């Protein structure tokens, strides 16, 4: 039996996330948090740009705002649910409102002051938890 080893792929496969929000602050905060927890992350400012990213990037989870220009979150989710390759990807709605109106989302979270705790709760509920932070000291 020949054993193959690939040092580049040692350990568990890296999780991938797509973050779609027109707020630069929210996008940056969510992306940094996910990167710090071992995710490879891509981001977009609207649903149209996100669909372009999905032609070259296959996320294991998608975070999206609902109120965005060009292609809003509802329209973006319509497009995701219409495609076989994205149909089963967990979708997390990022909302400024307490109750987001999007029944097709896997999870809805409020953008608030304790966004890191909300993100941990969402990752636990959708993907079975977040890996430990890669560089916990660098996250503020």
Tell me the backbone φ, ψ of residue 53, rounded to 5 degrees. -60, -35
Nearest to 58 by CA among 76, 80, 74: 80
Cα(17)–Cα(127) distance, integer angstroms: 11
> What's the pLDDT tens digit per position in 64-92?
999 899 999 999 999 999 999 999 999 99
Give pTM, 2 decimals.
0.81
Cα(51)–Cα(70) distance, integer angstroms: 12
Structural domain contains residue 64: yes
Query: Which pLDDT does position 132 carry in this prediction?
Result: 56
* Token digits of residue 47: 């649903």
Query: Which pLDDT does position 138 carry in this prediction?
Result: 35
Structural domain contains residue 140: no
Structural domain contains residue 97: yes
Sheet holding 107-110, edge to edge: 40-44, 16-20, 61-65, 91-95, 107-110
* H helices present in the chain, as ranges: 24-36, 47-53, 73-82, 115-127
Helix (H) or strand (E) run with residue 42 in it: strand 40-44
Q: How many H helices and E strands in the chain?
A: 4, 5
What domain count does the chain have? 1
Structural domain contains residue 121: yes
Structural domain contains residue 136: no
Structural domain contains residue 8: no
Residue 46 domain boundaries: 14-129
Structural domain contains residue 73: yes
Cα(18)–Cα(53) distance, integer angstroms: 9
Look at residue 58 and tell me whether its pLDDT is greater than 90: yes
CATH number reported for the structural domain that contains residue 55 in this entry: 3.40.50.2300
> What's the pLDDT tens digit per position in 4-56?
443 444 445 679 999 999 999 999 999 999 999 999 999 999 999 999 999 99
């Amino acid at each position: 039996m020949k054993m193959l080893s690939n040092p580049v792929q040692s350990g568990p496969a890296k999780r991938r996330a797509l973050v779609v929000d027109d707020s630069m602050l929210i996008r940056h905060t969510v992306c940094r948090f996910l990167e710090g927890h071992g995710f490879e992350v891509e981001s977009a400012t609207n649903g149209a740009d996100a669909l372009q990213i999905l032609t070259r990037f296959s996320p294991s989870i998608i975070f999206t705002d609902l109120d965005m220009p060009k292609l809003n979150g509802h329209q973006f989710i319509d497009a995701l649910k219409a495609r076989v390759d994205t149909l089963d990807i967990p979708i997390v709605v990022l909302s400024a409102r307490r109750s987001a109106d999007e029944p097709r989302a896997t999870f809805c979270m409020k953008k608030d002051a304790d966004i890191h705790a909300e993100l941990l709760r969402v990752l636990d509920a959708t993907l079975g938890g977040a890996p430990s932070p890669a560089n916990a000291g660098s996250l503020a």
